[in-house]
Amino acid sequence: MDVPDWGTIPRMLRDQAAGHPSDIVVADGEVRLSLAELRTRAGAVARGLIALGVEPGDRVAIWGVNDLQWVLAAFGVWDAGAMVVPLSSRYKGIEAVELLRKTSASVLITGAGPDGTVFADLLSGAAGGPAPGRPVTGLPALEHVIVPEDVRRPGCLPASGLLAAGARVSRAEAEERALAVRPDDLCEIMSTSGTTGTPKGVMLEHSQVLRGYWDWSEIVTLGPGDRYPIIAPFAHGFGLNAGMLACVLRRATMMPIRAFSPDLLTELVQRRRITILAGPPTLFHRVLEEVDTTGHTLRVAICGAASVPAELVRRALDRLGLERMINAYGLMEGTVVSMTRARDPVEVIASSTGRPVPGIEVRIVDDAGREVPVGERGEILMRGYGVMRGYWDEPDKTAEVVRDGWLHTGDVGTFDAAGNLAVVDRKKELFIVNGFNVSPAEVEGLLLREGSLAQAAVVGVPDERLGEAGWAFVVPRPGRTADPDKIIAWARDNMSNYKVPRRVIVVDALPVNANGKIDKRVLRERTAE
């Protein structure tokens, strides 16, 4: 089914609220919010922003954990014709200042962390305290900082003050603003390290995110009656677009998760009766091994990872009786690229990210730009409606990665004979052992077959004899122990000698960056220690 002719997020919200006003789309703790209520309360936020001087095309940043206020803020920003600039709840003050300065955000809506951290305090610590008429001294473009209702800070406006300011703006004026948004207007600037290493702002339009996540949710079969916990942060594309936005697109109920812990899984599966669950392979290992799934309602699992152990897929499908398990590939610069489908066999789900989604083309090319044969590795290029409109205020860096309409992803992949795409590495993460190229992702996938591991991350480390050698950081499966010597012995029996990790380090968890990806920079720093 083609995406309805909404064009923009504000029109989508209005159409959904008019046709299905009582459908519950947010369940945050004891609070339930219907589509009609979401439209009304988002409109109130938009009126407040307009009263503060926000104009179409302005940037409004949101810095908080996944909760109802984040949802209201985002839809309010879109109603006001502005762009959402998400700030990760993991950010420190300096990181937030950099993104606010880069995007010249005029308003920042803040919250507090699960540990009680007030994000506005981190900001003032990094950008200076308030000055006459300004919330902080170090960000001249930032005119207003909104803080939670129970927080009072000099120079900042409480949430009630934002809504009170909106009383000066008529509903008719706000509605005119919302309906004036065009399909090709920018709706988001998403922070990413992207394909060139340094943080940049990815520009996305209303029409492309509507289409991308309509198609994504169609394949997932997200719909009315589904209960979907959003574990990925709203500051990331998966949490914001494949979570919050997809639920409103499909009239499903989102459950924002402020801070995830393994103990929460039992509550989600048993008491909250979730039907959709998305996360890395280790999340599903925990469901299978730690949660009583008797009488569960879970029907769809979304496991977006380059490599998913086939055993895990079989166990999840057999023991949980899932309707489907989906693997997928996407990136900030290209939205949704490929997905597995419901009838795909276990081996396809485990070893690939499926076929390109409708409207997206994918090529695998060598360093000279020539397409490689089926089964051979090369860089993944994609084009179509999902390609970003560029990096914010960085046309030169945009031109480096988008050439002739093709996005050069920096990811290494292969096609099989059926057209399934496997993402096997990042170009810049390959290392050379005694003259042989080693793919960290390949070694990680092999290590997961050993049996005791839930996760593995491999990095190349300088080595006097070999030039470089692989070190593996591994997380045991719940209830299992991992013995480095036994893992290395297994690797010697099952891998080419140059792929065998020189060292295996057992850790409780792997470090992740603000986008939820394994932070290999931190692991390399650990090897230096």
Q: What share of the chain in percent tops pLDDT 70?
A: 97
Kindly report, residue by residue over 414-447, the tens digit of the pLDDT. Answer: 999 999 999 887 777 778 787 666 878 878 888 9
pLDDT of residue 193: 56
Full set of structural domains in the chain with CATH: 9-192 (3.40.50.12780), 430-528 (3.30.300.30)
Residue 197 pLDDT class (50, 70, 90 cuts): very low
Closest CA to 81 of 190, 192, 173: 173
Mean pLDDT of 510-516: 75
Give pairs for 32-36: CB < 8 Å, separation 24+.
Answer: 33/68, 33/71, 35/248, 35/251
Confidence class for position 194, pLDDT limits 50, 70, 90: very low
Q: How would you classify the pairing of strands 335-339 and 355-356? A: antiparallel
pTM: 0.85
Give 129-177 pLDDT, tens digit per residue: 898 889 999 999 999 999 999 999 999 999 999 999 999 999 999 999 9
Nearest to 424 by CA among 408, 409, 439: 439
**One-letter amino acid identity for 80?**
A
Give CA–CA dist 278/284, Å, rounded: 9
pLDDT, one tens digit per residue, over 231-244 is 989 998 999 999 99
Phi and psi (nearest 5°) for 312? -65, -45
Lowest mean pLDDT among 6-15, 46-55, 351-360, 439-448: 439-448
3-state secondary structure at position 90:
coil
Identify the CA nearest to 243 among candidates 273, 267, 201, 213: 213
